[in-house]
Structure 1
């Protein structure tokens, strides 16, 4: 089999032309989700499925967040009812362990969550870091984005802004987006109480209860919700994370369709 010859300039031209088109399309969105972990991917899947223009921004060059590390690098995590219904919906195989509890392969979990979000219409931008928010008239209107490589290198390069009607912080334990908003705008009264020590039973329930809007246009889900509200961590069990993503998606869909 003879491989088709491709000149170097064609490779470069195709990447720049189509990559630029993709980035231009991210300039204005309905919803921007920061963090492509479990809650972020679930949120993006359901919001995009509802017909809203959805962008997920991830600072790493891969998605999955904390799923990939499993439980202390063991390649399995746990989900419990009713979160398993969402995984069944996207074709993840579930291994029953005990009543109401299933074991999940981490690689399959990551891959099928990502495919679910992408196939629903969500766009995922990898290797990009949210370093600030657009805040006007006491409302969040989008995010300020820089390439993660630029941030890591410590270079002074001006970022670009992506507008949206809603921003969701799904950055995990540090609640990075809400923390930025609180630090840069103390007059707004946004608080990040910080994550507490592990209590899996309380944490699984609390992360769902804590999910919601923390400031007009700024929402929080997953472990970021626990960090903002001062809830405990739960370890390698992901039911609460999945249900948190579904809850925030439902709330945002209702809000944005109420105020088109």
Structure 2
């Protein structure tokens, strides 16, 4: 069989266009493809919700790829070990008294991505978040997106919109979605983004239990973005809190959707 270049082009454009149109209205739109949002998206999709995840870079994974200072290893505490087991991530106990588990960061990200995609989450990579949609009831009702390349080139190209019942900000240290709400709606009932404090793994990990929450109607924050919004410490290359934060974000989102 002879391969036809135009047929290949049509197949790619046709399939992507149909998918994109279908996902202009979703139950949950997640901004950022780090570990917390991958866990949240997977849990939501497993429960049958229509979920789209938007990542500005080529690949999902956030800061997990690099492990600690480019040593491709991460630490996960005992509390989150069940997630490593569920996602078939190989790990071993490093300190049986403190409950530290070591995992390969590259394998961890690969397994998370695989589970996210196969669970039914629709992933849109190379897509940049630009703005939120808010209507008369002062509730986040969606996001505004554009191609990452447009942002990098600083081109004046108008964006498109995604309607969502719930939006989850998992954009890491920058807390991009929350910062946008703070900047554009100064009189909103929003606590604002405090900014993360210096690294303190123990305090930062424990803080995520409280900082993962709905910060504005229709907007949930998770992972490092949650600590940045609340002014809690950063955690470094320990990722158990991130994974658990993603689970918490999914539960909060489900409570808003049911």
Alignment of 1:1-260 (within 5 A): 4-99=1-96, 100-136=99-135, 137-190=137-190, 191-257=192-258
Stretches of 4+ moved more than 6 A in 1? none
Q: In the TM superposition, what whole-angstrom CA distance separates every residue of 1:6-32 from its partner, at most 9, and x where no partner exists? A: 111111111111110111111000000
Q: Which consecutive unaligned segments of at least 5 residues does structure 1 have? A: none
**In structure 1, what is the Cα distance between the partners aligned to 2:166 and 2:153?**
30
Q: Which consecutive unaligned segments of at least 5 residues does structure 2 have? A: none
Aligned length: 254
**In structure 1, what is the Cα distance between the partners aligned to 2:209 and 2:122?**
25
**In structure 2, what is the Cα distance between the partners aligned to 1:58 and 1:184?**
22
SS at match of 1:186: coil
Q: In the TM superposition, what whole-angstrom CA distance separates every residue of 1:79-125 from its partner, at most 9, and x where no partner exists? A: 01111101100111112101211101111101111111111111110
SS at match of 1:22: helix
SS at match of 2:254: helix
**In structure 1, what is the Cα distance between the partners aligned to 2:124 and 2:134?**
22
TM-score (norm 1): 0.96
**In structure 2, what is the Cα distance between the partners aligned to 1:221 and 1:114?**
18
**Deviation at 1:230?**
0.4
TM-score (norm 2): 0.97
Larger mean Cα displacement after TM superposition, 150-159 or 4-13: 4-13
SS at match of 2:26: coil
**In structure 2, what is the Cα distance between the partners aligned to 1:254 and 1:185?**
25
Q: In the TM superposition, what whole-angstrom CA distance separates every residue of 1:215-256 from its partner, at most 9, and x where no partner exists? A: 000000000000000000010000100000001101211221
**In structure 1, what is the Cα distance between the partners aligned to 2:85 and 2:104?**
13
**In structure 2, what is the Cα distance between the partners aligned to 1:5 and 1:113?**
37
**Deviation at 1:202?**
0.4
Q: In the TM superposition, what whole-angstrom CA distance separates every residue of 1:138-195 from its partner, at most 9, and x where no partner exists? A: 0000100000001111111110000000000000001011001110111114200001
**In structure 2, what is the Cα distance between the partners aligned to 1:174 and 1:46?**
24
**In structure 1, what is the Cα distance between the partners aligned to 2:2 and 2:64?**
40
**Deviation at 1:68?**
0.7
